[in-house]
Amino acid sequence: MPDTLLSAIELATGDSPKSSVIWLHGLGADGNDFVPVVDELGLPPQLAVRFIFPHAPMQPVTINSGFVMRAWYDVLNQDMSFREDETGIRRSQQEIEKLITKEKDRGIGASRIVLAGFSQGGAIALQTGLRHPERLAGIMTLSCYLPLASTLAAEASAANRDVPIFMAHGTADPLIPLPLASLSREHLKQLGYQVEWHQYLMPHSVCQEEIQDIGQWLQHVLA
């Protein structure tokens, strides 16, 4: 019996897409969250991109009193980098690897695939992309942090040592504070990664300036 895939929303910006963006939502949201952003990215019509917005599984979340919601992994305490749900993080990593394989089976090479995500979704994009055995087009992470940071040096894929990384964060983020994101950026830089860093005057959200920057970055890495 074949492995089941996460259910997902798909949206293509043109006929016969030549690139794919797998974009992961944050805690408690679902794949619909970032669908409206696609039209705001300003991508040229000749850049045919398939956007995949998967839905995370439903599960209890400890920090939310065990309330069941869509989550890529459990959040055990407020300091997310101190005590992490390693099992859940790695399970979601495997699920995103299946989505990458599906795109490759549809004729999209790994070098034409971007992994993206917001908050928890961004953490899983980093977890998966930096360990993927083939070079990706890029990793885009919004309002997130680097999960399982202590394991990255030993597990990092040589193929993605120079992968373009877009990291963006709000200066007034109350959920994932800017200093935590900055520490993640510095950890990546110390390991030799090239990080394109952006910060915006906003809380744990996205803003129009950020969307414009994302659109320009996608055009660059998918050119």
Token pair recorded at residue 178: 């800017």
DSSP, collapsed to helix, strand or coil, labels residue 49 as: strand
**55 an active-site residue?**
no
**Which one is catalytic: 19, 169, 173, 187?**
173
**25 an active-site residue?**
no
CA separation for the pair 188, 212 (Å, rounded): 24
**173 an active-site residue?**
yes
Token pair recorded at residue 122: 């961004």
Which of left, alpha, beta for 148 (phi over 0: left; psi -120 to 50: alpha)?
Answer: left
Q: Where are the extended beta strands (E) located within the chain?
A: 8-12, 19-24, 49-54, 58-61, 67-70, 113-118, 138-142, 165-170, 195-200
**Which one is catalytic: 119, 132, 169, 187?**
119
- In terms of Cα–Cα distance, which of 2, 1, 38 is closest to 20? 38
**Which one is catalytic: 25, 169, 187, 204?**
204
Residue type, 118: F
CA separation for the pair 82, 211 (Å, rounded): 30
Whether residue 127 contacts residue 147, with contact meaning beta carbons closer than 8 Å, is answered with: yes
Whether residue 195 contacts residue 167, with contact meaning beta carbons closer than 8 Å, is answered with: yes
* Torsion of Cα atoms, 100 then 105 then 110 then 116, to 10°: -30
Residues with a catalytic annotation lie at 119, 173, 204
